[in-house]
Amino acid sequence: MSLKSRLLKDKYGKMLMLALVVFCLSIAFFIGLGLYSRSVPLLKIFRSFELLSSSEWVPGKMKFGLFPFITGTLWVTVLSMLIAIPPCVLAAIYLTEYANQRVVRIVRPVIDVLAGIPSVIFGVWGIILIIPFIRDVLAPIFGVHTSGYTVLAGAIVLAVSVFPIVLQLLIELFKTVPEDLRNASLSLGATQWQTIKFVMLRKAGPGVVSAVVIAFSRAFGETMSVIMVTGNVPIVPSSIFDPAYPLPSLIANNFGEMLSIPLYDSALMFVALVLFLIVLIFNIISRYILRQVELSSV
């Protein structure tokens, strides 16, 4: 093969890869544009602030307040991350730093199986075990009467569903930390835990932040398991024992009814747009935090 033909292939290969990168990046733009164009009929009648701040969702009376759904989404998602992230980090540390290879060979396939379980199975598990536990055991301890279909139930089920994905990411991340850094710390008299705390976690800090971002993004859009255990009541939760109605559940539950009510289609598209923007804004903020972590770790 001549030099000219090789250079030509290299040039066209580079152009093709650039085109694919542009195409991948443009998908998010066209998703947002499509959702916005379908939301325009609603936005011509109602202001965005009015829709986001109102608490009344009565489509038959042309009331499309999204505030309870936004707060429900944030309650369930943030609480699920508070439940999931610490065990994920500690489990990943144990599997990479303390566990022997026999334990790792047993645990890794189990994590892979959990990662492949459909979310509806987690929802069924939540109905069978988590909801009765909250209703009959946990809530009475705090003097609360509840059906069990609560923010807490949704957060627990959501935390379990994202746990294997985050754990896999953290295990692979911690394995990339150079062994020389660990050995240098240990040779200076540091204990194993001090090495993990001040060397490994510091080196892997940006990656941990990235794993948390991925977990948040996955949790924001989870639908089936959350629909089944949160109660789907359009109120603003005031505690973890209140029911909730996250945005993805609203879309999934009402999409089939949209043709019978004017502006219903546009309202649901606006709901999807709000969810899209929440995830986008969160990722932008997370990228800024990640950048600051990377600079501080240099």
Which pLDDT score, from 0 to 100, does residue 134 have? 93
Q: Read off the tokens for 15.
A: 């152009």
Q: Is residue 135 part of a domain?
A: yes
Closest CA to 57 of 190, 221, 250: 250
Are the beta carbons of 233 and 218 closer than 8 angstroms? Answer: no
Within a domain: 40: no
Asked whether the CA dihedral 38, 42, 44, 47 is positive or negative, the reply is negative
Q: What are phi and psi of 150, to 5 degrees?
A: -135, 175
CATH label of the domain that carries residue 75: 1.10.3720.10
Please tell me the predicted confidence (pLDDT) of residue 257. Answer: 61
Q: Of all helices (H) and strands (E), which one includes residue 274?
A: helix 264-296
191 belongs to a structural domain: yes
Cβ atoms of 252 and 227 within 8 Å: the answer is yes
Are the C-beta atoms of 297 and 201 separated by less than 8 Å?
A: no
Other beta carbons within 10 Å of 97? 15
Distance of CA 42 to the CA centre of its chain: 28
What is the model's pTM? Answer: 0.85
Whether 77 is in a domain gets the answer yes
Residue 255, exposed/middle/buried by CB under 10 A (0-12, 13-18, 19+)? middle
Alpha carbons 155 and 78: distance in angstroms, whole number: 8
| Residue 8 placed within a domain | no
Any domain includes 51 = no
Count of residues in the chain: 298
CA distance 279 to 52: 16
Domain count, the chain: 1
H or E element in which residue 144 lies: none
**27 domain residue, yes or no:** no
Which phi and psi (to 5°) does residue 63 adopt? -115, 120
CA distance 205 to 211: 10
Query: What is the domain range of residue 174?
Result: 67-296
Is 9 a domain residue?
no
The one-digit pLDDT tens for each residue of the chain (298 residues) are 577 777 777 878 888 888 888 888 888 889 989 999 989 988 888 888 888 888 888 887 888 889 999 999 889 989 998 998 999 899 989 988 888 888 888 888 888 888 888 888 888 999 999 999 999 999 898 888 888 899 999 999 999 988 888 888 888 888 888 888 888 888 888 888 888 888 888 888 777 887 888 788 777 777 778 888 998 888 889 899 999 998 888 888 887 666 667 788 888 889 999 988 888 888 787 777 777 766 665 5
